[in-house]
A and B are shown apart, each in its own frame.
Chain A
């Protein structure tokens, strides 16, 4: 039945036109210049990349990475016990818990971020409550801080971490745990030496998802961080929609994409070397 094979061409054509070609254009434009009106000038230059090494942009770059790493770590710490709890529940309860974890995916993240504005602003729910019960007299400044951005990111991306960890917990070889307890290992020891190594892949998948999503998320920073906290993605967005410095924006996007790819590669390497080491250890 080879005759159906040509049917793939519409999709290939569509994705080439609207996915591959645009990304190629980004790379090309990142090497172009622009005149004082913001128009593209066709001439090869590395200026856009050189500008990135300005201390201002480097600082933002490191801030972005720091925030993304922190968000990822907090997500792992919160999600692992939750996924572990779900994976060890009975089948019906598992289904219900999983449904509750997936529902937030379908509530627009703008709305979920806005919920935190309601809670955190100075006349917001949290401040009113604290003032009503007399713990504070003056509203606390919570909105438009770095803490608010971190909170918003963790809140937005927790489901991205829970699901992969849950899947890896589900797929692990549970006979090993029985063997360990037969051999007298404590539950904690069994968890540390069997469950945790076997679920690393889930954690890694979740971490890559959370990290890349956090680094590319310009809206949470925008809404909860105000003008004070800026991330790489905000700078990129401004270059395209505000400042109209497209070559520089394109260069920043390429840097963002390369950073993500390098990180995914490093995560994979770390995962593999751990696996190999633990195999050797067992041998």
Chain B
């Protein structure tokens, strides 16, 4: 359908974009504002970034966030990838298993958070980094699974069969044929899991202990207490990091898809 677009529609589209991006842009601008009061522009400065990096609490929270994100990403990526590989050959995929794999995407965050809190307290599992890691793995598995499974679904089995005919062990086949072929998907899934973990507040808030404050939990505390320019600097860094990561993930997936088309041709 090549109709002329209604000018009202395009005005609306640009207005919505402005509505979505202007508030965020405000944070970016004010993070360089040389004034404690965040409402007027008083000149350019980097000092909030400087004081941010000297703030022990921020650095601790950052370290916690990174440790948790890294650990949960590794576990979730392995589990999700293994699940996608396991279901690859199942002709009739069990509805129960599939339902289970998609459930974490559907369950509201608040319910996932409080139910895990109840679980941990019932079994006297002390709240801390590990409880957050477990929570993050639980919601990340689904996303890794979906991404890796979509990568696998477009893959032929011929190369693997050929390798096995030529005497490769199952491990060799996996290591030299299957893994390189699904790698872009695995990497994209891992970045997704990492971003979800770094970003999560709703669930972490329930299962965090006193010594496991993550960056979002720290930001929440700051926002509740009041406004300070350091929050703007911190938020700016977080925006740049997560948007950067997701652009990389998208690029990887696109690259993977292009490779997929090329590699399916010879089969």
Q: Interface size bucket, B side?
A: 35 or more
Partner of B101, one of A15, A84, A88, A102: A15
What is the chain A residue whose CB lies nearest that of B234? A111
Segment at the B interface, from A21-29, A45-53, A266-274: A21-29
What is the chain A residue whose CB lies nearest that of B1? A174
Residue numbers of B with Cβ under 8 A of A are 1, 3, 5, 9-10, 12-13, 16-17, 19-21, 23-24, 26-27, 30, 37-40, 79-80, 82-83, 85-90, 97, 100-101, 103-104, 107-112, 114-119, 122, 134-135, 137-138, 141, 145, 195, 199, 201-202, 205-206, 216, 219-220, 223-224, 227, 231, 235, 238-239, 242-243, 245-246, 250
Count how many pairs of residues, one from A and one from B, have CB atoms less than 8 Å apart in the complex.
223
What is the chain B residue whose CB lies nearest that of A126? B39
Known: A19-B103, A26-B118, A114-B219. A10 touches B79 (CB 8 A): yes
The 6 A-B residue pairs with the shortest CB-CB distance, nearest first, are A22-B115, A115-B23, A7-B86, A216-B108, A8-B86, A22-B119
Partner of A114, one of B9, B110, B223: B223
Residue numbers of A with Cβ under 8 A of B are 1-2, 4-8, 10-12, 14-16, 18-23, 25-26, 29, 78-79, 81-82, 84-86, 88-89, 97, 99-100, 102-119, 121, 123-125, 127-128, 155, 158-159, 174, 177-178, 187, 212-213, 215-219, 222-223, 233, 236-237, 240-241, 246, 249-250, 253, 256-257, 260
Contact B110 A216 (CB under 8 A): yes
What is the chain A residue whose CB lies nearest that of B232? A118
Minimum distance in angstroms from A15 CB to a CB of chain B: 5
Interface of A: prevailing SS: helix
Partner of B13, one of A85, A113, A215: A85
CA distance A142 to B253 in the complex (A): 43
Partner of B12, one of A82, A100, A110, A249: A82
Contacts of A222 in B (CB 8 A): 224
Contact B110 A22 (CB under 8 A): no
Known: A1-B89, A4-B88, A246-B118. A11 touches B108 (CB 8 A): no
